């Protein structure tokens, strides 16, 4: 690496970081990148492939994209609520496993990894406050982008929650929101940022790359969903690069999804544009 590129990297680090230390690792650059590809391949990278195929399917339907509906959080066995609850809980539990795997891989190399990436409870009140602020920053513009993209025919109508009226519907939706937040922020931010920095990648490349993957696995909603999540990924990536704490990101993402899932459930019969 020449002196000029090292100087440029140093400027970016000075802009985006506050001097936090990376976890230790003895793995080579090739091993680190290969590991991230494999982790993504069994989690959100696979989701990105399926979401791309889903968008292609929607675009090649005789019905225009803007007239289609994307249903989320659906019942599996609506005629047997007890079994459906078991399905929902199993999906949530299995869904968080890649995040646990990512943290395990980081802490296997360095026992301090969870603390160094901010996946701990050292600052609960501060994390909650920062997370709520991030949710407000992202939520309202995101809603405006969704409505604009849908009006322009670039996004499907997203039916965010489709569970039957059972006593456990809202708790399950809240748990689903937590699962989404933990999975995405731990894998896409805490894990990928750590591994790609250990591999020597520049922070702007890491932030943009993570955001693009995040946008891709939301393309099943349409172009608006993809673009909105790229923007969200850029914001969260910059925040993480500055703070090195993933917990506020998890809080923010949880709040956004709880509002979307539970809000849709409570308001869909009363608000026409939902």
Instruction: Please tell me the distance from the alpha carbon of residue 72 to that of residue 54, in angstroms, as a whole number.
Output: 13
Instruction: Please tell me the distance from the alpha carbon of residue 202 to that of residue 67, in angstroms, as a whole number.
Output: 41
User: Tokens for 24?
Assistant: 């230790």
Ramachandran angles phi, psi of 158, nearest 5°: -95, 115
On the question of pLDDT at 61 being above 70, the answer is yes
Looking at per-residue confidence, does 273 or 251 come out higher?
Answer: 251
On the question of pLDDT at 73 being above 60, the answer is yes
On the question of pLDDT at 13 being above 70, the answer is no
User: Tokens for 99?
Assistant: 């995040």
On the question of pLDDT at 2 being above 60, the answer is no
For residue 267, the model assigns a pLDDT of 81
The region that residue 77 occupies, defined by phi over 0 for left and psi between -120 and 50 for alpha, beta otherwise, is beta
Sorted by sequence, the CB contacts under 8 Å of residue 57 that are 6+ apart come out as none
pLDDT range class, residue 135, cuts 50, 70, 90: very high
For residue 104, the model assigns a pLDDT of 98
On the question of pLDDT at 17 being above 70, the answer is no
For residue 18, the model assigns a pLDDT of 55
DSSP-derived secondary structure letter, 164: -
Return the half-sphere exposure (C-beta side, CA atoms, 13 A cut-off) of residue 69. Answer: 9
Percent of the chain with pLDDT over 70: 92
For residue 141, the model assigns a pLDDT of 94
Instruction: Please tell me the distance from the alpha carbon of residue 176 to that of residue 170, in angstroms, as a whole number.
Output: 10
Q: What share of the chain is helix, strand, coil (3-state, %, to 5)?
A: 70, 5, 25
Mean predicted lDDT score pLDDT of the chain: 93
3-state secondary structure (DSSP) of residue 161: coil
Query: Angle between the 124-151 and 223-243 helix axes, to the nearest 10 degrees?
Result: 160
Percent of the chain with pLDDT over 90: 87
Instruction: Please tell me the distance from the alpha carbon of residue 241 to that of residue 239, in angstroms, as a whole number.
Output: 5
Sorted by sequence, the CB contacts under 8 Å of residue 154 that are 6+ apart come out as 65, 66, 222, 223, 224
For residue 5, the model assigns a pLDDT of 47
- Show the CA angle centred on residue 253, arms to residues 248 and 256, nearest 5°: 125
CA 145 to chain centre: 18
For residue 6, the model assigns a pLDDT of 52
Instruction: Please tell me the distance from the alpha carbon of residue 170 to that of residue 152, in angstroms, as a whole number.
Output: 32
For residue 270, the model assigns a pLDDT of 72
pLDDT range class, residue 1, cuts 50, 70, 90: very low
For residue 271, the model assigns a pLDDT of 67
CA 272 to chain centre: 28
Max Cα separation, the chain? 66
For residue 19, the model assigns a pLDDT of 61
Q: For residues 98-126, give the mean pLDDT.
A: 97
């Amino acid at each position: 690496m020449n002196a000029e590129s090292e100087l440029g990297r140093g400027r970016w680090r000075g802009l985006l970081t506050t001097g936090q230390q990376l976890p230790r690792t003895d793995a080579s650059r090739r091993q680190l990148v290969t590991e991230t590809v494999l982790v993504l391949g069994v989690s959100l990278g696979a989701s990105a492939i399926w979401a791309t195929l889903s968008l292609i399917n929607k675009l090649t339907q005789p019905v225009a994209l803007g007239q289609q509906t994307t249903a989320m959080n659906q019942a599996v066995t609506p005629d047997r609520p007890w079994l459906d609850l078991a399905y929902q809980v199993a999906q949530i539990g299995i869904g968080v496993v890649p995040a646990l795997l990512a943290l395990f891989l980081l802490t296997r190399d360095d026992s301090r990894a969870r603390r160094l990436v901010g996946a701990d409870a050292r600052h609960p009140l501060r994390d909650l406050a920062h997370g709520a602020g991030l949710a407000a920053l992202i939520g309202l513009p995101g809603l405006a982008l969704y409505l604009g993209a849908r009006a322009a025919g670039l996004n499907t109508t997203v039916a965010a929650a489709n569970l039957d009226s059972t006593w456990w519907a809202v708790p399950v939706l809240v748990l689903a929101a937590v699962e989404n937040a933990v999975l995405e922020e731990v894998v896409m931010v805490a894990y990928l940022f750590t591994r790609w920095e250990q591999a020597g990648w520049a922070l702007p490349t890491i932030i943009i790359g993570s955001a693009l993957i995040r946008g891709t696995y939301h393309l099943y909603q349409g172009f608006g969903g993809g673009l909105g999540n790229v923007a969200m990924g850029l914001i969260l990536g910059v925040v993480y690069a500055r703070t090195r704490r993933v917990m506020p990101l998890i809080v923010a993402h949880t709040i956004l999804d709880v509002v979307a899932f539970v809000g849709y459930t409570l308001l869909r019969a009363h608000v026409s544009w939902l």
